[in-house]
Structure 1
Amino acid sequence: MLLEKYSKQERGNSTINLVSDFVIVGGGVAGVCAAITAARQGIKTVLIQDRPVLGGNASSEVRLWILGATSHMGNNNRWAREGGVIDEILVENMYRNKEGNAVIFDTVLLEKVLNETNITLLLNTSVYDVEKSNDSSIKSVTAFNSQNSTTYVVNAPLFCDASGDGIVAFKAGASFRMGAEKKEEFGELFAPEKSYGELLGHSMYFYSKREDHPVTYRPPAFALKDITEIPRYKAIG
Structure 2
Amino acid sequence: MTTFVLLHGGGMGGWTWKYVRELLEAKGHKVYTPTFTGFGEREHLMSRDVDNATNVADIVNVLKYEDLHDVVLVAHSYAGTVAPGIVAAAGDRIRRIIYLDAIVPKSGERIAALMGYAKEEEMAGLDAMLAAGEGPIGSGVHEMQRAAAKEHPHIMAPERQDWLLANLSDQPMRVTACAIPVGAETIDKPVDYIAAQHTVMTAMHDRARALGWPVHDHPGDHALLVGDPEGTVDLILAIAGDK
**Same fold at TM > 0.5:** no
- What TM-score comes out, normalization by structure 2 length? 0.28
Q: Return the structure number with greater helix share.
A: 2
Q: For the pair shown, which has the larger CA radius of gyration, 1 or 2?
A: 1
* Higher normalized contact order (CA 8 Å, seq sep 6+, divided by chain length): 2
Q: Return the structure number with greater strand share.
A: 1
